[in-house]
Amino acid sequence: MKLDFNKSAPQPKTIKKAQKIINVVWGCSSEFQKRELALISELSEFRKNETALLSEIADLKEKLNTNSTNSSKAPSSDLFKTRKPKKKYHGSGKSNTLKQGAQNGHEGKGRKLLPPEEVDNTVACLPKSICDCGGHIEANPDKIKRHQQFELPEIKPIVTEYQQIYGSCNDCGTLYCGELPFGVSTSFLAPRATATIAILTGDYYLSRRSTQLIFDDIFNLPVSLGSISNAEETVSTALEAPVEEAKIYIQEYKWSVNADETGHKQQGDKMWMWLAATMMVAVFIIHASRSMEAAKALLGEKFAGVLTTDRCSSYNCFKTVLRQFCWAHLKRDMQKISERSGRAGQIGDEILDFIRRMFRLWRRHKAGKISRKTFQAAMKPIRNNIERLLKEGTTCGHKKTENSCARILKRKDALWTFVDVEGIEPTNNFAEQLIRPYVLWRKSSFGTQSERGNLFVERMMTTTATCKLQNRNRYDYVTEAVSAHLKNESIPSLLPVEETKLAA
What is the tens place of the pLDDT at every residue in 331-355?
999 999 999 989 999 999 999 999 9
Most confident of 89-93, 107-111, 144-148, 442-446: 144-148
Other Cβ atoms closer than 10 A to 85: 7
Same structural domain, 316 and 249:
yes
DSSP reduced 3-state for 112: coil
Q: Is the pLDDT of residue 282 over 60?
A: yes
Q: What is the DSSP string of 205-237?
A: ---HHHHHHHHHHTS-----HHHHHHHHHHHHH
Q: What percent of the chain has pLDDT over 70?
A: 90
Same structural domain, 451 and 494:
yes
Same structural domain, 445 and 398:
no
> What pLDDT was estimated at residue 426?
97
* 247: in domain: yes
DSSP reduced 3-state for 451: helix
Q: What is the pTM of this model?
A: 0.81
Segment 290-321, tens digit of pLDDT: 999 999 999 999 999 999 999 999 999 998 88
Same structural domain, 433 and 285:
yes
* 238: in domain: yes
Alpha-carbon torsion (22, 26, 27, 29), positive or negative: positive
Phi, psi values for residue 97, rounded to 5°: -70, 135
- Residue 315 CA to residue 305 CA, distance in Å, equals 13
Q: How many separate domains does the chain show?
A: 2
Give, as one character, the DSSP assignment of residue 80: S
Query: Which residue from 299, 331, 330 is spatially nearest to 312, judged by alpha carbons?
Result: 330
Same structural domain, 342 and 409:
yes
Give residue 240's domain range: 229-323+429-503
Domain end: 399, 420, 441, which one? Answer: 420
Decide if 299 contacts 307 (C-beta within 8 A).
yes
- Burial level of 379, CB count in 10 A (0-12/13-18/19+)? buried
Q: Is the pLDDT of residue 78 over 60?
A: yes
Same structural domain, 371 and 496:
no
Same structural domain, 280 and 310:
yes
Same structural domain, 257 and 299:
yes
* 71: in domain: no
Phi, psi values for residue 316, rounded to 5°: -70, -5
Per-residue CA distances from 412 to 257, 386, 390 (Å): 19, 10, 10
Phi, psi values for residue 279, rounded to 5°: -70, -15
Q: Is the pLDDT of residue 90 over 60?
A: no
Segment 181-214, tens digit of pLDDT: 998 999 999 999 999 999 999 999 999 999 999 9
